[in-house]
Amino acid sequence: MTDNSMTLTDKARRFVFDNTDIRGEAITLNSSLQSALEAHAYPESVSVLLGEMATCALLLSTTLKFEGTMTLQARSEGPVSLLVVECTHNRTFRALARFDDTAALSGDMHELMPKGQLVVTVDPEKGKRYQGIIPMEHETLAGCFETYFQQSEQLPTRLWLSSNGKQAGGLLLQALPPHEEKDDAKREESWNRVTMLANTITAAEQQTLEVEDQLTRLFHEEDVRLFDEETINFNCSCSRERTGNALFNLERAEVDQILEEEGDIHMDCHFCSRRYTFTQDDVEKLFASHGSNTGQTLH
Ligand SMILES: [Zn+2]
């Protein structure tokens, strides 16, 4: 196989198998993943995990209908304590990891994040935030979610995720409630057939082949209907205004102490490492404007 990793497109494509109730989505990440990770010097094993997490989060975000952001977090007491991927309905994402850099960071998710927990949070632009917690009881991220789907939605779902830390690919298949095909035996036969075909996907194919080529390779004898492609981009939603708001949440005395000791206040975005600097003057303005906005009175 030739290595197409230089030109691999960052995109997702949804598809359905005609005359069945099976939907799917395939995605590939290349430059967007590298952009998301470039501000950090992550060890390879951590980049690999984050690549898988990003692919997983982006696939999940299409199974949950929302306008806003969806965050997938993995926490553990192991060498990798935290992985976060935040994605939006506009198909952008950002990611970060926290880990013990004195530990031996080799191995897969099971070894790096033992007894971990996955938290999925959906923050819709309108409506209430909701959260789901999934124990990391499987060796793979895909396995954890397959169990979750089975238990929570009763929709059989299979996931294939792969990442080398620079490129990543994901495939999701989901059996929807009966609509096109109501005969149980036929439904099961279709599901078994397409999941068996999908099982033949290799990590190398997921990381180097465009999604259309992957789907042709897997399902050339099936009637697959592809929907429009969606481009995936890295985008960090941090801003000077949001950072200022975070600063405003600190005690004024604490802020003054930092100003006295450091001269200016530097706040780095944990996701993209962009640095926001606030001078004494900026701080005065910030607190003055917030004070008036929230109607606070001075004693
Ligand atoms: Zn940022």
Q: How many whole angstroms from 236 Cα to the centroid of ligand 1?
A: 5
Q: How many whole angstroms from 99 Cα to the centroid of ligand 1?
A: 19
Q: How many whole angstroms from 16 Cα to the centroid of ligand 1?
A: 36
pLDDT at 297 over 70: no
pLDDT at 104 over 90: no
* pLDDT tens digit sequence for 181-208: 999 999 999 999 999 999 999 999 999 9
User: How open is the CA angle 19-154-139, to the nearest 5 degrees?
Assistant: 110
Q: How many whole angstroms from 90 Cα to the centroid of ligand 1?
A: 17
What percentage of the chain carries pLDDT values higher than 70? 96
Number of residues written out for the chain? 299
Mean pLDDT of 93-100: 96
Q: How confident is the model at residue 238 (pLDDT cuts 50, 70, 90)?
A: very high
Segments making up each domain of the chain, as ranges = 11-234, 240-290
Handedness of CA 28, 123, 153, 185 (dihedral sign): negative
Q: How confident is the model at residue 2 (pLDDT cuts 50, 70, 90)?
A: low
d(CA 170, CA 179): 26
Nearest to 109 by CA among 149, 58, 71, 161: 161
Residue 140's pLDDT is 92
Q: How many whole angstroms from 173 Cα to the centroid of ligand 1?
A: 32
pLDDT at 103 over 90: no
What is residue 289's DSSP assignment? H
pLDDT at 271 over 70: yes
Q: How many whole angstroms from 139 Cα to the centroid of ligand 1?
A: 31
d(CA 20, CA 275): 51
What DSSP element (H or E) covers 147? helix 141-152
Q: How many whole angstroms from 278 Cα to the centroid of ligand 1?
A: 16
- In degrees rounded to 5, what are phi and psi of residue 221? -95, 0
pLDDT at 96 over 70: yes
What percentage of the chain carries pLDDT values higher than 90? 73
Q: How many whole angstroms from 277 Cα to the centroid of ligand 1?
A: 14
Mean pLDDT of 64-86: 94
What is residue 284's DSSP assignment? H
Residue 8's pLDDT is 95
Handedness of CA 104, 105, 109, 115 (dihedral sign): positive
Residues in contact with 222: Cβ distance below 8 Å, sequence separation at least 6, in sequence order = 17, 193, 194, 197
Q: How many whole angstroms from 86 Cα to the centroid of ligand 1?
A: 12
More confident residue, 201 or 273: 201
Q: How confident is the model at residue 299 (pLDDT cuts 50, 70, 90)?
A: very low
What are the tokens at 267?
């706040």
Mean pLDDT of 78-100: 96
Q: CA-CA distances (angstroms) from residue 86 to 18, 107, 141?
A: 32, 24, 16
Mean pLDDT of the chain: 91
Q: How many whole angstroms from 272 Cα to the centroid of ligand 1?
A: 4
Q: How many whole angstroms from 40 Cα to the centroid of ligand 1?
A: 12
Torsion angle (degrees, nearest 10) of CA 293, 258, 260, 263: -90
pLDDT at 295 over 50: no
Task: Give bridge partners of residue 110 from the DSSP assignment.
Answer: none
* pLDDT tens digit sequence for 3-40: 677 889 999 999 999 999 999 999 999 999 999 999 89
Q: How many whole angstroms from 233 Cα to the centroid of ligand 1?
A: 14
Mean pLDDT of 58-70: 90
Q: Which CATH superfamily is domain 240-290 in?
A: HSP33 redox switch-like (3.90.1280.10)
Residues in contact with 77: Cβ distance below 8 Å, sequence separation at least 6, in sequence order = 114, 115
Q: How confident is the model at residue 106 (pLDDT cuts 50, 70, 90)?
A: confident
Residue 294's pLDDT is 44
More confident residue, 288 or 141: 141
Q: How many whole angstroms from 47 Cα to the centroid of ligand 1?
A: 18
What is the three-class DSSP state of 179? coil
Domain 240-290 in the same topology as domain 11-234:
no
Torsion angle (degrees, nearest 10) of CA 31, 271, 228, 173: 100
* pLDDT tens digit sequence for 80-90: 999 999 999 99
Q: How many whole angstroms from 245 Cα to the centroid of ligand 1?
A: 14
Q: How many whole angstroms from 135 Cα to the centroid of ligand 1?
A: 29
Q: How many whole angstroms from 273 Cα to the centroid of ligand 1?
A: 6
Residues in contact with 264: Cβ distance below 8 Å, sequence separation at least 6, in sequence order = 277, 278, 279, 280
What are the tokens at 130?
């909701």
pLDDT at 76 over 60: yes
Q: How many whole angstroms from 116 Cα to the centroid of ligand 1?
A: 26
Q: How many whole angstroms from 95 Cα to the centroid of ligand 1?
A: 10
Determine how β-strand 68-75 pairs with β-strand 80-88: antiparallel
What is the three-class DSSP state of 183? coil
More confident residue, 150 or 10: 10
Cα 127 to chain centroid distance, Å, stands at 21
Residue 246's pLDDT is 85
Angle of helix 240-248 relative to helix 280-293, nearest 10 degrees, comes to 80
Mean pLDDT of 207-217: 97
**Which of 2.40.50.140, 3.55.30.10, 1.10.620.20, 3.40.50.300 would CATH assign to domain 11-234?**
3.55.30.10
At 234, the amino acid letter reads F
Q: How confident is the model at residue 173 (pLDDT cuts 50, 70, 90)?
A: very high
Q: How many whole angstroms from 274 Cα to the centroid of ligand 1?
A: 6
